[in-house]
Chain A
């Protein structure tokens, strides 16, 4: 569907910035080296062939036993060309950090905050990296696979009920 995007990427980035590319069910994807993340995004937005001007989605995936542990997944769409692409970047647990693409697509501001809130991936250069869904008192990142499924961090509870701390 949008092989042209991958062709442009392969032609432009020849120094190992692209770790892997592929196509599945008509959706093209590319795995990008972590330090080239913003450069690749910037190129895809500005290139006259790809023109990926619309941010669709950005989130993370926790693959627990794999190294690097997290994938940040980004979807972008071109309103003019009517094609889309999916980008991955691997983020290891001990240096859970990725460059922010808010400078490329400002619409990813809250998406990156959500990925930070739920998975603990920090985005370098984000203008306001706070939790977006959970409250500031919350400890940990609930969508990580090692977060206990039934762990609760209540802000208020009635006293004198079964299971209450008081």
Chain B
């Protein structure tokens, strides 16, 4: 009993620290990159939220921001970048192309980066406004604080803890008892 309280308190403190020291790796492939730069630049100032500077090596980063369209040809590179990142790690899909493939429904485009790697937060928009991005970042911070990021859940499960399947829930709302979402999120999309 005492150990559990100790563990959960330490975890909360660690997660609190983590959510304010995100080291981002921007995987910028398309026009959303301009909006990302705007968000990171002084006017909107992503640094206010502790996501200070972009690291240009995935090995130094724990937040992967997928900014732009992912093509089938790029997919192995994205997977490799994700695999190289330190755990626990988080992924944000920036814009509709990274979230669902957007208006590209064709032979070359991956229908959402979550087909390749698990995604924690989806930011829609073509491109999303900086306010949306900041909102998405805050959403991610809340999820980190709750220990509900995908890789946090996986780490917890690997350590032998009992992990609830329903790890995703709307912000500021209690989880309904009947909820049983898949833990990695993303809308159900079947390929035709």
Bound complex: CA A23 to CA B93 (Å):
49
Chain B contacts with A in 101-117, Cβ cutoff 8 A: 105-108, 110-111, 114-117
Do the beta carbons of B115 and A142 come within 8 Å of each other? no
Bound complex: CA A38 to CA B43 (Å):
57
Question: Does B79 touch A at the CB level, under 8 Å?
Answer: yes
Using known A-B contacts A150-B105, A150-B191, A161-B186, determine if residue A155 contacts B114 with beta carbons closer than 8 Å: no
Do the beta carbons of B108 and A134 come within 8 Å of each other? yes
> Interface range on chain A: under 10, 10 to 19, 20 to 34, or 35 or more?
10 to 19
Chain B contacts with A in 82-118, Cβ cutoff 8 A: 105-108, 110-111, 114-118
B137–chain A nearest beta-carbon distance, Å: 24
Do the beta carbons of A153 and B107 come within 8 Å of each other? yes
Do the beta carbons of A135 and B73 come within 8 Å of each other? yes
Complex interface: chain A residues within 8 A of B184 (CB): 161
A86–chain B nearest beta-carbon distance, Å: 27
Bound complex: CA A24 to CA B191 (Å):
43
Question: Does B164 touch A at the CB level, under 8 Å?
Answer: no
- Write out, one digit per residue, whether chain B residues 159-192 have a CB within 8 A of any chain A CB (1) or not (0): 0000000000000000000000000101011111
Do the beta carbons of B79 and A156 come within 8 Å of each other? yes
A133–chain B nearest beta-carbon distance, Å: 8
Question: Does B72 touch A at the CB level, under 8 Å?
Answer: yes
Complex interface: chain B residues within 8 A of A153 (CB): 72, 107
Across the interface, A142 reaches (CB within 8 A) one of B76, B79, B107, B117, namely: B107
Do the beta carbons of A156 and B75 come within 8 Å of each other? yes
Bound complex: CA A161 to CA B114 (Å):
9
Complex interface: chain B residues within 8 A of A151 (CB): 107
**Closest residue on chain A to residue B192 by CB atoms:** A150
B93–chain A nearest beta-carbon distance, Å: 14
13 contacts between A and B (CB under 8 A): A134-B73, A135-B72, A142-B106, A142-B107, A142-B108, A150-B106, A152-B191, A153-B107, A154-B75, A154-B115, A155-B75, A163-B189, A164-B115
Which residues of A are at the interface with B, using a C-beta cutoff of 8 A?
133-135, 142, 147, 149-158, 161-164
Apart from A142-B107, A155-B75, A155-B76, list 6 A-B contacts with CB within 8 A. A134-B73, A135-B72, A150-B105, A150-B192, A152-B107, A161-B184
